Structure 1
Amino acid sequence: MQQYPYPQLKRPAFSWDRSTVSHEPGVNEWIKTLHSKDAEKVDWTVFDAAIIGVPLSRSSISASAASENPDALRRAWKYFTTYNLDHDEDLSGLNVVDLGDVRQHVTNIEVCHNNIKEAMISMRTHHPEVLPIVMGGDHSITAMLVKGWKEVHFNERIGILQLDTHFDLRDLKDNGPSNGTPIRNLIESGTVKGGDVYNIGLHGFFNARSLKEYADEVGLNYTTMRNARKQGIETAINEALEKLCRKVDTIYLTVDMDVLDMGFGPGVPASTPGGMLSTELFEAVYLAGKSPKVKVIDIVCLDPYKDHGEITVKTAVHTMLSFLTGYKQRINI
């Protein structure tokens, strides 16, 4: 590794002063960063999870400043403690490191996407036991991250648990590798099978009929928000996880923040009425965190410039911490 800690990354543009840490730390005091001089000799075995930011939004089909999200989430860490009262669980026993952001090209989206894929390859090559947590960025990054994972773990069968208002199955011929096409990109590239994708959260008037027809054609599994709420979000998530666990080696969890109802997630480029409640999202990712085959999470499509009172930013941080609560219980630290 010639650069920090591998060439595709740069240190966080913003990090907290951790020179004094209380015995009951806030999240901003708990999550570690690497010093450049230590990056090449870091002992990866001490870390349970590694955070990277992917500040890309030029590939969004709607106007978006999702590129600003990684730093917005970092700044919001100060609002949270490591103790989850709902589950009587303290995350401070986990060792989590913020590795910074994937390098982006100013104008060339193809270069940006390649850097994202290569960053995942580096993560899985240099510290494969460390859980990746990805702060997006628009949803186009998911296809690149999964392709990077597949390149290293080429014998694995990868499944997708997608929490989303949209199918993200737009035609690549019309839309290219954008935030409207990541799932189709993965299916048509042969990276994942359509039947290994489970989408929960679709609703209302925000998907064209042709996308549903394509989903049915490739055998994609989906549960509308209406049906998920009828059966209960816990049942819907657990059923998807159980079915995926029987088929795949790795489950990739992708959380598009536009899955939220616009009242709970105003800071997304495509906010809609009728989506998830924030509490439903927290429960969904907590359950996913407990599943042994869920090995990576991304949180995408959050535009902090459109947010109100940091509602969506704080919800995204809570989402990450809820996932880590399940993950900590899974590995029994």
Structure 2
Amino acid sequence: MSFQFLNPKGDARFKDRHTTKVDETRLVYEEGMEADIGVIGLPSSKSSISLSLAAEAPKTIRAALRSFSTYSGEKNHDFADVRWLDFGDVEVHPTDLKQTLQRLNQSVSEMLDTNSCNRYIMLGGDHGVSFPSISAFHKKYGRIGVIQWDAHHDLRNLEDGGRTNGTPFRSLIESGVLLGKDLVQVGIRDYSNAKAYSDYAKEKGVKVYSMGDVDLLGANSIVSDEVKRLSEHVDMIYLSVDMDAVDQAFAPGCPAVGPGGLTSRELLGSVAQAAAHPKVKAMDIVEVDPSKDVRDITSRLAAHVMMRFMYEGSR
């Protein structure tokens, strides 16, 4: 039976014939399909050192995409032809964190092995997902450069709690996946880190830009210079966006919110700056906790970060 106003297959929503919403450009992965962007959810947050339901973020970020259109008025260009291929969410282990990391790594590797897309977005989860994800890209591409937007170094020791959302970049460096000089950290915030980890970053040659540096030099300028530097040495560049790099006023839905961070415009502008470079092939977005959010402010900002990567890199 057909219904005139009832749609059993979906929710009721207004449709303007002249408007394409970002979620309408989504394709659900089937073997043999190809698209511009591959998207995978890494819904793991049990390794968070602070209480977190960031595992719920992939679905809220995807849902936020229905609020935005594919048309850029500033560029006078409609990106409705940019398709993203959704590989779904990884089924994490309910109790075994080591098994979860293995599943995340294997799933990202399997996505890459399909050769379905040119660029990829990983939706976390807490920042611990960056370790298995970047490891998978290293195996596929070779030498990786990483630009990390973050209030924290995430270079904590492994003895006090194992692999957590505070250890991904130490894990990558010590496992030989990432060279310290190939890691750039943007937005590191005062009174949010220990001296030992600042010293470790210096020892390993990590390029660290504090919020004071951002104030002085500008986020766009920093990212532009570092993408250019990295591109001369690495095989690909991976962007890792921890949403707590953003000031709590613009991203209240993070487990580790704080004042004095980036504005939403600084984050969006610098991500767009990086995404335009051809060696930038992947990005993860992490540390969005929908249970702490207000009117989906943080998920909506994360959706815009996703769109900057999708559309700035397509031109």
- Band of TM-score, shorter chain: over 0.9
Secondary structure of the residue aligned to 2:80 is helix
Q: 1:16 to 1:132 in 2, by over 3 A?
A: farther
Are 2:24 and 1:29 aligned? yes
- Which of 124, 135, 140 pairs up with 1:147? 135
What are the residue-to-residue correspondences of 1:164-313 with 2, within 5 Å? Answer: 164-313=150-299
Which amino acid in structure 2 is aligned with residue 29 of structure 1? E
How far the C-alpha of 1:189 sits from its partner, in A, is 0.2
User: Please, what is the CA RMSD of the aligned residues?
Assistant: 1.8
- Which of 111, 114, 129 pairs up with 2:99? 111
Which amino acid in structure 2 is aligned with residue 43 of structure 1? M
Which amino acid in structure 2 is aligned with residue 202 of structure 1? I
Partners of 1:287 and 1:323 within 8 A in 2: no
Which amino acid in structure 1 is aligned with residue 185 of structure 2? N
Q: 1:105 to 1:251 in 2, by over 3 A?
A: same
Q: Percent same amino acid among aligned pairs?
A: 36
Q: 1:74 to 1:17 in 2, by over 3 A?
A: farther
Partners of 1:51 and 1:96 within 8 A in 2: yes
Partners of 1:282 and 1:323 within 8 A in 2: no
Normalised to the residue count of structure 1, the TM-score between the two structures is 0.88
Which amino acid in structure 1 is aligned with residue 28 of structure 2? T
Normalised to the residue count of structure 2, the TM-score between the two structures is 0.93
Secondary structure of the residue aligned to 1:251 is strand
How far the C-alpha of 1:229 sits from its partner, in A, is 2.1
Whole-Å separation in 2 of the counterparts to 1:161 and 1:61: 23
**Comparing both structures, which one devotes a greater share of its residues to helix?**
1
- Which of 42, 55, 62 pairs up with 1:67? 55
Whole-Å separation in 1 of the counterparts to 2:10 and 2:65: 10
Are 2:46 and 1:58 aligned? yes
Q: In the TM superposition, what whole-angstrom CA distance separates every residue of 1:105-144 from its partner, at most 9, and x where no partner exists?
A: 1111111110110012112211164311111000000010
Q: Say how many residue pairs are matched.
A: 306
Secondary structure of the residue aligned to 1:175 is coil
Partners of 1:143 and 1:183 within 8 A in 2: yes
Secondary structure of the residue aligned to 2:185 is strand
Q: 1:277 to 1:326 in 2, by over 3 A?
A: same
Instruction: For structure 1, list consecutive stretches of 5 or more residues without a partner in the other structure.
Output: 1-13
Partners of 1:102 and 1:119 within 8 A in 2: yes
- Which of 115, 119, 142 pairs up with 1:131? 119
Are 2:100 and 1:77 aligned? no
How far the C-alpha of 1:282 sits from its partner, in A, is 0.5
How far the C-alpha of 1:161 sits from its partner, in A, is 0.5
Whole-Å separation in 2 of the counterparts to 1:91 and 1:26: 10
Aligned residue in 1 for 2:311: 325
Which amino acid in structure 2 is aligned with residue 99 of structure 1? F
Partners of 1:26 and 1:82 within 8 A in 2: yes
Whole-Å separation in 2 of the counterparts to 1:112 and 1:16: 33
Q: 1:173 to 1:122 in 2, by over 3 A?
A: same
Q: In the TM superposition, what whole-angstrom CA distance separates every residue of 1:30-67 from its partner, at most 9, and x where no partner exists?
A: 22224xxxx23x332xx111111111110111100000
How far the C-alpha of 1:207 sits from its partner, in A, is 0.6
Whole-Å separation in 2 of the counterparts to 1:298 and 1:318: 13
Partners of 1:16 and 1:28 within 8 A in 2: no
How far the C-alpha of 1:220 sits from its partner, in A, is 0.6
Q: In the TM superposition, what whole-angstrom CA distance separates every residue of 1:132-182 from its partner, at most 9, and x where no partner exists?
A: 1111000000010011122233xx211110000000000012231110000
Which amino acid in structure 1 is aligned with residue 92 of structure 2? Q
How far the C-alpha of 1:16 sits from its partner, in A, is 7.3
How far the C-alpha of 1:15 sits from its partner, in A, is 8.4
